[in-house]
Structure 1
Amino acid sequence: MRELRPWQWAVRAARHLLLLLLSVLFLGEAGSTLRTQPPRRYTPDWQSLDSRPLPAWFDEAKFGVFVHWGVFSVPAWGSEWFWWHWQGERLPRYELFVHENYPPGFSYADFGPQFTARFFHPDQWADLFQAAGAKYVVLTTKHHEGFTNWPSPVSWNWNSQDLGPHRDLVGELGTAVRKRNLRYGLYHSLLEWFHPLYLLDKKNGFKTQNFVSAKTMPELYDLVTRYKPDLIWSDGEWESPDTYWNSTEFLSWLYNDSPVKDKVVVNDRWGQNCPCHHGGYYNCQDKFKPESLPDHKWEMCTSIDKMSWGYRRDMTVSHIMNESEIISELVQTVSLGGNYLLNIGPTKDGLIMPIFQERLLAVGKWLSISGEAIYASRPWRVQKENNTKAVWYTSKGLAVYAIFMHWPENGVLTLEAPITTSTTKVTMLGVQGPLKWTVGLKGGLLVSLPRWAPSALPVEFAWTVKLTGVK
């Protein structure tokens, strides 16, 4: 090989250095291009919208509190559908109630000034919800009666700023909830029973969209831009399809361009054709309770008062869910991959009745011990033990949790589903130290539970055994 002269070596080195610099510049520009690529755009059709991944916070939250509050809290009788039962269906018992308790000519609008929220202290509410172990709170911004709990620009003199409380209830609670790092959701009814424009569209077979253009959509856009909710809980969809409501157009804006596009979660009530088919997560129907593990994220909404969502003065103790019922439903819901949204109805003054407070605090007490098996958990390969004892499973990482509803009389918990290994360990949430166990005759585990008096146990019902090293 011919020996290169010094100046030739210098030229070759300079050439290599130039190529290296060009490569770095090219790769840097390419990387910059990749980094600045615009995020995916969702088009206003269900195929595109349904493909959006659900923000992770919702599945991790598991438990939320629902609040039904509005002008219906003034008559506080029958249910939050008071106006419809009285003047829509004209049910005799509602007509008689009004006749016996209010002067002649009394209208539903006359209840408005009596919705005072005089004793509404949002920080007290938020403290209660936090103590209940809730990770998100959903407030009714507007029910089917049309009264808005915020100064809606398209609900003149039928909102909480112009009438009644003269306060922005949605904003105040949102501030209090977020100070405690809870997520904030807004319930909103698409329809209004007696709004003239809605009745006109209904008369036209929903071929016109006067109400949607003048009322529904302006309010939804206002709620999102003003309060930046983590969740939109839509309702009132059942009389017309999503095409009437312009739902896909709104959702495409929400997912693409809204101030909450990356974090917001929505349910499935966007038209009569949507529940259990389209949307973010599925409600399907009130108090929906599947028998087996669904293939889509879902939420069970239910109310402590079994007969109503809003507060009612004719409520009795027999109508109230007890603590074990609530916790049992929570456990079953989470085991089947759902979230549990538990409702209360405050009074017209903004008070939460002691019975509701007691139930919420009982859930919080249970979650303070058992929350490890609930929050951020995942359904296990088996959701429920296939025997007569109610045992539900959840999982998190390498741990499996067996939550059992009834304490076995012999003090031995039989678990057939888990397959033990040489590293299997069994503990009980709220109890220090491992539990003794043996392999059952047909496999699984026989767990020896602590032989303590019931008062000494960490919780009163729904005890949790934690298993590691099982398959």
Structure 2
Amino acid sequence: MNRRELLKNLSICVPGIAFRNQIQASGLLSDHFGETMSTGPFAASWESLSAYKTPEWFRNAKFGIWAHWGPQCAPEEGDWYAREMYVEGSGQYKAHIKKYGHPSKFGFKDIIPTWKADQWNPEELLALYKKAGARYFMALANHHDNFDLYNSRYQKNWNAIKIGPQKDLIGGWEKAARSQGLYFGVSVHAAHAWSWYETAQRADKSGSFAGIPYDGKLSKPDGKGLWWEGLDPQELYEQRHALSENSLDESMINKQWNWGNGVSVPSKAYCEKFFNRTVDLINAYNPDMVYFDDTALPLWPISDAGLRIAAHMYNRSIKKNGKLEAVIFGKILDETQRKCMVWDIERGQSNNIEPLPWQTDTCIGNWHYNRSVYENRRYKSAKTVIHILADVVSKNGNLLLSVPVRGNGSIDELEYAIVEEIGEWMAINSEAIYDSRPWVVFGEGPQMETAAPLSRQGFNEGKGVLFTSSDIRFTQKKNDIYAIVMEWPENGQVTIKSMKRGAAGINKEISSVTLLGSSQQLTFSRDDNGLQVTLPENRRKISYGLTLKIS
């Protein structure tokens, strides 16, 4: 490769370690990338990262809560607002015009200073979440909107200290989580701002604003005399580039998510800025977990930035804790990559007991707060959440549950009631959840027969039949097996077919069966049809997810 070819390739991201080493050998690229990386046993390669072992604390925690909260919550119009507001004719485009004006005059950058988070009380929320049974907490550090919610040294003009709330939101979340004894994580989504914001380069095709560009191509000189004078919108929008192939096709953003299929390739400067922003976040706030909303690691395979971040976080954790306690999440992972981090399934569940720990992330509403979900009472119920939790844990997984936060920093009364009811169930039944491991089978019942396969990074949630009293999920701990019966049977009788006489996984006689929350010994018998258990006559207030402890 000659000097001209090397310089040309330096204009795009470094696509891998071998290429990076080749460039370094040429003398055209130094080893310095801004932030200092921790050294240790992990290197920035999939092979090295495959030595990762999921820490026991995460395997034992089972349940976490997520605040997927940022400036896109201010309009209270749901997820991906900062992209969809630039899609002519979309619901969010129409809502934006009604509330703020046309996106050629009032863009997403202009929403940010209206977002004050004036009712945000992280201590109160984290106390509620701990009472609900959460063992860890995740806070949004940035979304695809590219706005950092912490004291960012690299996104220093477009962050929550500088504009909007003028508060260190990640710092506040971390302090509150630590005070409640919860493990703390951050979610990082900004790697995709490059292509995600391409809608902001468009213009209306019809109407009185036809042909007038939206604000996605504005630059620093355009702000003279305006509130954002001195700021460069391109540091937020990152649209100094040609559109991806078929960019006007709304489905292409998903097809190009893995940085292929004609996506516009980010510049090297963009990739290194993302690397430094994320390492700065890790160094400043010491998260136990980092959730990446990427196919595998951020910017892979066009850059090794994500590999370097992962190696840094793992090595840093070893130095800090004396052993590896860090967790990183990825979405669509091959066999090697699943060894390198924890596999996360979005809005869906595996249909098997997974050999490695994994996580489901889901939300009781929209990821970003949506007022219509509240007004139409379309939240997931506490019962649905508990059914998901039991199903996931029975398959060696954890549940990360997002509770949407309003633009002002509060949660509404319907959400509050749901979280409280989850806590009521956990107060009685969490013995079957925390520190547990899968049994020989994860469950039984008709729901298993209609479970939908995974689609992309998940999205099979709620596609099967509803759980019934015949659906049971199992966990185990020491000499005890827990059978979580999804609904209270009308006749008061539970038959567990998987525990029939001679069934695998029960090597000794069953000595007792109790219902968690009660010391009463239940009447039971066991034959070739299964284990039959007679429940107490009085049905409980929370009658779903009743847990039998079988010793």
Which residue pairs with 2:34 in the alignment? none
User: Within the alignment, does 1:459 sit opposite 2:519 as a pair?
Assistant: no
Question: Given that residues 299 and 305 in structure 2 are in contact (C-alpha distance below 8 angstroms), is that contact kept between their aligned partners in structure 1?
Answer: no
The Cα shift of 1:264 comes to 1.1
Question: Given that residues 122 and 173 in structure 1 are in contact (C-alpha distance below 8 angstroms), is that contact kept between their aligned partners in structure 2?
Answer: yes
Counterpart of 1:102, as a letter, is: Y
Q: Which of residues 384, 393, 417 is equivalent to 2:474? A: 393
Which residue pairs with 1:4 in the alignment? none
Which residue pairs with 2:388 in the alignment? 329
Q: Which of residues 350, 375, 380 is equivalent to 2:434? A: 375
Aligned residue for 2:406, secondary structure, equals: coil
The whole-number CA distance in structure 2 between the counterparts of 1:245 and 1:71 is 29
Q: Which of residues 268, 288, 303 is equivalent to 2:330? A: 268
The Cα shift of 1:101 comes to 2.0
1:157-192 deviation per Cα after TM superposition (whole angstroms, max 9, x unaligned): 321111111110101111111111101010011222
Which residue pairs with 1:293 in the alignment? 353
The whole-number CA distance in structure 2 between the counterparts of 1:339 and 1:422 is 31
The whole-number CA distance in structure 2 between the counterparts of 1:223 and 1:322 is 34
Counterpart of 1:395, as a letter, is: Q
Which residue pairs with 2:11 in the alignment? none
User: Within the alignment, does 1:210 sit opposite 2:269 as a pair?
Assistant: yes
Which residue pairs with 2:174 in the alignment? 174
Which residue pairs with 1:30 in the alignment? none
- In structure 2, list runs of 5 or more residues that go unmatched: 1-38, 198-235, 245-262, 447-467
Following superposition of structure 1 onto structure 2, how do residues 309-348 of structure 1 map, counting pairs within 5 Å?
Answer: 309-315=367-373, 316-348=375-407
Counterpart of 1:304, as a letter, is: I
The whole-number CA distance in structure 2 between the counterparts of 1:199 and 1:275 is 35
The Cα shift of 1:43 comes to 2.4
The whole-number CA distance in structure 2 between the counterparts of 1:251 and 1:118 is 35
Question: Given that residues 437 and 475 in structure 2 are in contact (C-alpha distance below 8 angstroms), is that contact kept between their aligned partners in structure 1?
Answer: yes
Q: Which of residues 102, 114, 119 is equivalent to 2:100? A: 102
The whole-number CA distance in structure 2 between the counterparts of 1:83 and 1:40 is 39
Aligned residue for 2:140, secondary structure, equals: strand
The Cα shift of 1:48 comes to 2.0
| Distance verdict in 2 for CA 1:424–1:367, change over 3 Å | same
Name the stretch that deviates more: 407-416 or 347-356.
Answer: 407-416
Counterpart of 1:377, as a letter, is: S
- Normalising to structure 2: TM-score of the pair? 0.71
Counterpart of 1:60, as a letter, is: N
- In structure 1, list runs of 5 or more residues that go unmatched: 1-38
User: Within the alignment, does 1:350 sit opposite 2:409 as a pair?
Assistant: yes
Aligned residue for 1:294, secondary structure, equals: coil
Which residue pairs with 2:532 in the alignment? 446
1:264-315 deviation per Cα after TM superposition (whole angstroms, max 9, x unaligned): 101114x99799746411014x21211121222111111101xx11111222
| Distance verdict in 2 for CA 1:386–1:347, change over 3 Å | closer
Which residue pairs with 1:155 in the alignment? 155
Q: Which of residues 512, 519, 531 is equivalent to 1:425? A: 512
The whole-number CA distance in structure 1 between the counterparts of 2:334 and 2:269 is 21
Counterpart of 2:291, as a letter, is: W
Aligned residue for 1:233, secondary structure, equals: strand
Counterpart of 2:329, as a letter, is: N
| Distance verdict in 2 for CA 1:328–1:92, change over 3 Å | closer
RMSD of the alignment, in Å? 2.5
Q: Give aligned pairs, total.
A: 419
Counterpart of 1:57, as a letter, is: W
The whole-number CA distance in structure 2 between the counterparts of 1:302 and 1:232 is 16
1:366-415 deviation per Cα after TM superposition (whole angstroms, max 9, x unaligned): 01100000001000001112568101111011100011012223222111
User: Within the alignment, does 1:62 sit opposite 2:69 as a pair?
Assistant: no
Aligned residue for 1:327, secondary structure, equals: helix
The whole-number CA distance in structure 2 between the counterparts of 1:273 and 1:152 is 33
1:173-221 deviation per Cα after TM superposition (whole angstroms, max 9, x unaligned): 111111111010100112223456576498695374221112x111111
The whole-number CA distance in structure 2 between the counterparts of 1:399 and 1:254 is 37
| Distance verdict in 2 for CA 1:276–1:386, change over 3 Å | farther
Q: Which of residues 269, 288, 307 is equivalent to 1:230? A: 288
The whole-number CA distance in structure 2 between the counterparts of 1:371 and 1:303 is 20
The whole-number CA distance in structure 1 between the counterparts of 2:125 and 2:515 is 32
| Distance verdict in 2 for CA 1:196–1:162, change over 3 Å | closer
Counterpart of 1:264, as a letter, is: A
Which residue pairs with 1:9 in the alignment? none
Question: Given that residues 51 and 339 in structure 2 are in contact (C-alpha distance below 8 angstroms), is that contact kept between their aligned partners in structure 1?
Answer: no
Which residue pairs with 2:85 in the alignment? 86
The whole-number CA distance in structure 1 between the counterparts of 2:536 and 2:550 is 16
User: Within the alignment, does 1:282 sit opposite 2:363 as a pair?
Assistant: no
Q: Percent identity, aligned pairs only?
A: 26
Which residue pairs with 2:192 in the alignment? 191
The whole-number CA distance in structure 2 between the counterparts of 1:84 and 1:275 is 33
The Cα shift of 1:319 comes to 2.1
Give the structure with higher Rg (CA).
Answer: 1
The Cα shift of 1:443 comes to 4.8
Aligned residue for 1:433, secondary structure, equals: coil
The whole-number CA distance in structure 2 between the counterparts of 1:275 and 1:303 is 29
| Distance verdict in 2 for CA 1:380–1:40, change over 3 Å | farther
Question: Given that residues 46 and 336 in structure 2 are in contact (C-alpha distance below 8 angstroms), is that contact kept between their aligned partners in structure 1?
Answer: no
The whole-number CA distance in structure 2 between the counterparts of 1:243 and 1:237 is 12
| Distance verdict in 2 for CA 1:287–1:464, change over 3 Å | same
| Distance verdict in 2 for CA 1:313–1:275, change over 3 Å | farther
